């Protein structure tokens, strides 16, 4: 009997079954979920390495491989810009997802046509793609990369540094999303939260990677995941200029920056995305930290849906603030948590967005009186 903690070890029998399914294939399509993130791509990369090693041809299908960690463009079928083939490989392996809701309609149709489908995942939903033994789900695992590492363990495979680094990257990114790891601007290493330390299996897998990966390799991954430590010139400039845009309400309890519709700097960075939103978040938190008098900090900015506000409050006033805004501006829709939240309108019309913003500013100023 293997001792099972949270992201549990995979039994040798189970791992051998997956191995047989894969190695009997002529060709394997390794499919990542929509908006492919580090974890799904890392899982796919590691499985491709395993198939290559066993001389089974394969291809990764993803819509975002080139945006992630140090992966060359061109060695993955990027369905964000390329067309899916007519027919799938004889085996489709889905990594980091097991429900059709995680892929586009077109990709769903594609997967459905495959003779043999396998899924390896750490999410479990109402309607799994398949219901037989070909699906392996470990809900307790905090990343799919962790499961792949367990699979290699069960198959007695010690992957090379390159693959370990890849899996470490997938694990780290999902652990960051789960708030198991906290990244800050000034710290090269993330902080491990209580939840992380309580999860014995995650702790085991992660500290193993930390022991087996050279410090330099870890550093590369951590700097990549920690957006604030890997800003390019334009992003740095935007971050610095943001602090020059700070304004305050009449009694200095509320600080904010405005990024108007059509802002050149904002658009040059691709508008609202993972990287710019990390910069905005850092702006709000740093502003609060530096000004003891301040209770909340916000940014007004456009995204594809309309004009938005994102706000952080030191004393958990976000929802109360939103409630107060609605007293004089009932159309305002905003929500979130007491310490952080957001709201938006559906218009990208400059005039309307300024009006919308002014109503909010009026409400906030009144709240702090
Ligand atoms: Mn994942």
- pLDDT per residue over 302-316, tens digit each? 998 899 999 999 999
In whole angstroms, give the CA distance from residue 57 to residue 207.
Answer: 32
Which of 228, 261, 296 is where one domain is finished?
228
Point out the least confidently predicted range of 187-201, 209-223, 242-256: 187-201
Q: What is the pLDDT of residues 237-246, one digit of tens each?
A: 999 999 999 9
Based on the fold, state whether residues 174 and 243 are members of the same structural domain: no
243 belongs to a structural domain? yes
Same domain, 96 and 176: yes
Q: Compute, in angstroms, the gap from residue 328 CA to the centroid of ligand 1.
A: 42
CATH of the domain at 199: 3.90.1640.10
Q: What is the mean pLDDT of residues 131-160?
A: 93
Compute the distance from residue 162 Cα to the ligand 1 centre, in Å. 20
Q: Which of 176, 197, 228 is the last residue of a domain?
A: 228
> Considering only CA atoms, which of 207, 95, 89, 224 is closest in space to residue 147?
95
* Ligand 1 mean position, distance from CA 164 (Å): 16
CA 306 vs CA 135, 155, 265, 302, 345: distances in Å? 40, 50, 18, 6, 6
In a domain, 178, yes or no: yes
Instruction: State residue 74's pLDDT score.
Output: 65
Q: Same domain, yes or no, for 213 and 333?
A: no
Same domain, 299 and 153: no
Q: Over 80: is that where the pLDDT of 174 sits?
A: yes
Summary mean pLDDT of the chain? 91
Is residue 1 assigned to a domain?
no
Ligand 1 centre to CA of 39 (Å) is 5
Q: How far is the CA of 98 from the centre of ligand 1 (A)?
A: 11
Q: Are residues 195 and 94 in the same domain?
A: yes
Asked if pLDDT for residue 12 goes beyond 80, the answer is yes
Domain boundary among 228, 262, 294: 228
Other C-beta atoms within 10 Å of 303: how many? 15
Instruction: Give the residue-averaged pLDDT of 340-366.
Output: 94
Rounded distance from Cα 369 to ligand 1 centre (Å): 45
pLDDT of residue 4: 39
* Tokens (6 digits) for 184: 């800050």
Q: How far is C-alpha 303 from the geometric centre of its chain's CA atoms?
A: 18
Same domain, 121 and 68: yes
| Residue 330 alpha carbon to ligand 1 centre in Å | 38
Alpha carbon of 186 to ligand 1 centroid (Å)? 26
Question: For the segment 53-77, what is each residue's pLDDT rounded down to a tens digit?
Answer: 999 999 999 987 766 776 766 678 8
What is the pLDDT at residue 295?
97
Q: What is the CATH number of the domain that holds 248?
A: 3.10.310.30
Q: Is the pLDDT of residue 157 over 90?
A: yes
Measured in angstroms, how far is the CA atom of residue 22 from the centroid of ligand 1? 21
3-state DSSP assignment of residue 295:
coil
- pLDDT(146) > 80: yes
Residue 6 included in any domain: no
Distance 42 CA to ligand 1 centre (A): 10
Comparing C-alpha atoms, which of 177, 154, 155, 171 is closest to residue 212? 171
CB atoms within 10 A of CB 279: 18
How many domains is the chain built from? 2
**Predicted TM-score of the model (pTM):** 0.78
Q: Tell whether 2 is covered by a domain.
A: no
59 domain residue, yes or no: yes
What's the 175 CA to ligand 1 centre distance in angstroms? 9
CA of residue 256 to ligand 1 center, whole Å: 34
Ligand 1 center to residue 195 CA distance, Å? 17
Q: For residue 167, how far is its CA from the centre of ligand 1 (angstroms)?
A: 11
179 and 237 fall within a common domain: no
Residue 101 belongs to domain spanning: 12-228
Q: Is residue 4 part of a domain?
A: no
Residue 137 lies in a domain: yes
Are 112 and 242 contained in the same domain?
no
CA angle 292, 183, 271 (to 5 degrees): 85
Q: Are residues 23 and 90 in the same domain?
A: yes
Cα(100) to ligand 1 centroid in Å equals 15
Distance (Å) from CA 354 to ligand 1 centroid: 39
Residue 193 and residue 331 in one domain: no
C-alpha of residue 144 to centroid of ligand 1, in Å = 5
Judgement on whether residues 153 and 250 belong to the same structural domain of the protein? no
User: What pLDDT score does 187 carry?
Assistant: 85
Looking at the fold, whether 215 and 237 belong to one and the same domain comes out as no
């Amino acid at each position: 009997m293997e001792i099972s903690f949270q992201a549990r070890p995979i039994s040798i029998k189970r791992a051998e079954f997956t191995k047989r399914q894969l190695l009997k294939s002529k060709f394997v399509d390794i499919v990542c979920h929509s908006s492919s993130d580090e974890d799904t791509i890392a899982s796919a990369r590691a499985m491709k390495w395993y198939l290559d090693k066993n001389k089974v041809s394969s291809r990764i299908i993803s819509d975002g491989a080139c945006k992630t960690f140090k992966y060359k463009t061109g060695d993955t079928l990027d369905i964000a810009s390329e067309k899916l083939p007519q027919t799938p490989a004889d085996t489709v392996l889905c990594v980091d997802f097991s429900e059709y809701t995680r892929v586009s309609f077109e990709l769903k149709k594609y997967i459905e046509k495959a003779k043999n489908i396998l899924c390896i995942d750490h999410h479990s939903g109402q309607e799994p793609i398949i219901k037989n033994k070909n699906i392996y789900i470990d809900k307790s695992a905090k990343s799919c990369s962790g499961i792949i590492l367990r699979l290699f363990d069960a198959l007695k495979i010690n992957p090379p540094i390159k693959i370990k680094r890849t899996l470490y990257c997938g694990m780290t990114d999902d652990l960051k999303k789960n708030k198991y790891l906290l990244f800050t601007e000034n710290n090269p290493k993330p902080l491990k939260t209580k939840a992380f330390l309580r999860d014995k299996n995650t702790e085991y897998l992660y500290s193993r990677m930390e022991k087996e990966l050279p410090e330099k390799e870890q550093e590369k991954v951590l700097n990549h995941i920690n957006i604030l430590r890997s800003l390019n010139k334009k992003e740095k400039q935007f971050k610095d200029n943001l602090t020059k845009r700070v304004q305050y309400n009449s009694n200095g309890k509320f600080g904010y920056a405005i990024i108007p519709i059509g802002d050149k700097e904002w658009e040059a960075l691709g508008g609202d995305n993972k990287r710019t939103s990390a910069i905005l978040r850092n702006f709000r938190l740093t502003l609060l930290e530096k000004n003891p008098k301040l209770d909340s900090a916000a940014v007004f900015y456009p995204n594809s849906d309309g004009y938005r506000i994102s706000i952080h409050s030191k004393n958990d006033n976000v929802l109360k603030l939103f409630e107060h805004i609605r007293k004089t501006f009932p159309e305002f829709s905003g929500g979130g948590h007491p310490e952080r939240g957001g709201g938006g309108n559906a218009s990208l019309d400059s005039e309307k967005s300024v009006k919308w913003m002014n109503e909010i500013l009026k409400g906030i100023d009144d709240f702090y009186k």
